[in-house]
Amino acid sequence: MPRLLVIGGMAAGMSAASKLRRLRPEWEATVLEAGPDRSYGACGLPYLAGGEVRDASDLYALGEDEIAARGIEVRLRQRVTALQEGRKRVEVEELGSGRRRPEAYDALLVATGARAALPSLRGLSGENLFTLHDLGDGRRLQKFLEVEHPRSALVWGSGYIGLEAVENLARRGLSVTLINRSVRVLRDLCPHLREKVVLELEARGVRLLLETDVGEVLSSGNRIASLETDRGSLAADLFLVATGVRPDTDFLRGSPLPMAANGALAVDETCATGIHGVWAAGDCCEVTHLVSGRPTYIPLGTTANKMGRVAGANIAGERERFPGVVGTAVTRVFSLEAGVTGLSAPAAEAAGFSVETATVDGWSRAGYYPGGGPVAISLVSDRRGRLLGGHVVGAEGTKGRVDTLAAALTAGLRVEDLVHMDLAYAPPFAPVWDPLLVAASALRNKLRGR
């Protein structure tokens, strides 16, 4: 019986194993997961901390019975330490006992995901220091909040996880300080939209310190007491670091698998690595950015699920492809929704495009219809009219508008195409001229020199 061995029991790994078993039930599928959990929604961790998700078990995507019904064997706390591709096997360490053993495969999928990337700073550890990357992190933070009843928190990092953590900790009544080394809030929001997020955070009582450098960690016993920064000493009861992630591929250093400088694995459209019998998918991989055409590292659960299915199908002998991404994401910051897709103006310039931008303010519903709120949209194109990216910040409807832009980018549409796009209209949902169309018209006018 041929055997698929999967390293990693999260989105990409479980999707691949499930797809293979559906297509080729004669195959054996074994998943090795280094952690104590399998197949859960890590994106829900901030909401577990905030209490909107009641229990960590609610985040499981697949139950044990469902996994068993699919004919997938999952072994937890099994860490792969080395790949012997010439012998078609891996070396496995059983965490806890420390016992090591080889595991053979006919096909191997590397789906090890990413891990939290902590700043390189001496003393950055303690009982009150947290990340929000895996379910263990979520359980530990939830317990600390319930048992210790902290009154203040410092969140380091203003990306999606950082801002979601800020919102959820503030909703629990903590006094929250948010710091970041750069001026960036979310991913390269233009200054006009970034200012709206900043104002929302400050209106909710968040102390926001951008362009802040941390120089030293001061501890008291087993806990961090303060971070010493160029903006002064910042003390808190709880410290949460959300400064990014990096591919969890260190065990593959020195192997023949193609790897970027940051450790991300290079794969083709079939998720093959170029090494016979070895595929890779998910947050441990680079993907192609469909706008720039270049490899990029954008770790997201949506991408991991799609890549896993494509890998599973190709391992089964089908012919499927994962063409790439346009970098679409959306989040909530208290009463604001913020979404991005494609390239920002600086990223587009770095990719070699000659860039034009337009930013507009509008309203989410018809002016005479109750409710709604402000919407700001920024669009990016090249000077010949090709749409390159867009950002949306508003009270509602952000996901739909960003998804529309993502579809336009995937199709390679021009600004002129977006101007004439037949978007839905009704007073409860949008004005007759949707802010997206207004932004596209403004950008077209700039391209025409008006």
| Active-site residue flag, 271 | no
Q: Where are the alpha helices (DSSP H) in 132-186?
A: 135-148, 160-171
Cβ count within 10 A of residue 441: 17
Which is the catalytic residue, given 43, 190, 271, 284?
A: 43
**CA distance linking residue 289 with residue 282, whole number of Å:** 15
**CA distance linking residue 39 with residue 20, whole number of Å:** 17
DSSP 342: E
Find all residues with CB under 8 Å of 426, minimum gap 6, and list them.
none
DSSP 11: H
For 35-77, list the strands marked E by DSSP.
72-76
DSSP for 353-375, written as a single string: --EEEEEEEEESS-TTSSS--EE
Phi, psi of 53, deg, nearest 5: -100, 125
Phi, psi of 289, deg, nearest 5: -85, 120
Token digits for 325? 């991404």
For 264-310, list the strands marked E by DSSP.
278-280, 287-288, 295-296
Residue 241: name the closest of 297, 288, 179, 303 by CA.
179
Cβ count within 10 A of residue 417: 15
> CA 356 → CA 189, 344, 391, 447, distances in Å?
15, 11, 14, 7
Residue 279: name the closest of 251, 313, 327 by CA.
313
Q: 115 - beta bridge partners?
A: 246
Which residues are tagged catalytic? 43
